Structure 1
């Protein structure tokens, strides 16, 4: 248990449940190579993507490496199709 108080532990487990459910929803929209991946592998490959946010002429652009750009577009396309 992370804490000795019941309410704090209940909140901790509620946050863990929410994060797991969000992870499962994200994994559904990832390419097939990630379907059986664990949370740590997805975190290292998806969440740790290096990017640069650029603002120019009141527009924002997200610059990614080519591989990451393809992966991100697959995730977005999958999310919009469903």
Structure 2
């Protein structure tokens, strides 16, 4: 028989409609039942972090890929649109994990787009050839990405 752990809970102020109810407490209570071996405070910290991480991923998916609104009123078309957005999100996260250093792993989509895809450069003619000039950090980053993509193609993802 599983051992039951005490519940952790919290108290919040209720919504404003409760202000007009007479004889009702102004607080709203919530409880979290868990079988974790940690203290109630640690369990609540884990619970809140878990929810915030999921909400941040959803927000990044919506804002980063322009999915705040569905494109039409047809359920099937909206489902395809959302699945394509989810696929693009997962591919970008995989690209970030496999080809960029760990300092890039926590960046949001907008930051990656700005710092990787929208790198400033200048097209110049040098010795009769057209050249693209970009700063050294960008060249090093692009070479690292190119080399890691090549390694993935040859060896496969680990």
* Coarse TM-score class (shorter-chain normalised): 0.7 to 0.9
TM-score scaled by length of structure 1: 0.74
| Alpha-carbon distance in structure 2 between the residues aligned to 1:41 and 1:35 | 11
Q: CA RMSD in A?
A: 2.5
Matches for 1:1-82 after TM superposition, within 5 Å: 1-2=69-70, 3-28=72-97, 29-51=99-121, 63-82=133-152
Tell me the CA shift for residue 72 of structure 1. Answer: 0.4
Closer, same or farther: CA 11–53 of 1 in aligned 2, 3 Å? farther
Closer, same or farther: CA 41–66 of 1 in aligned 2, 3 Å? same
Q: Which has the higher contact order (CA 8 A, sep 6+)?
A: 1
* Structure 2, unpaired ranges of 5+: 1-68, 125-129, 153-158
Specify the structure having the higher radius of gyration (Cα).
2
* Structure 1, unpaired ranges of 5+: 55-59
TM-score scaled by length of structure 2: 0.42
Give the paired residue count. Answer: 80
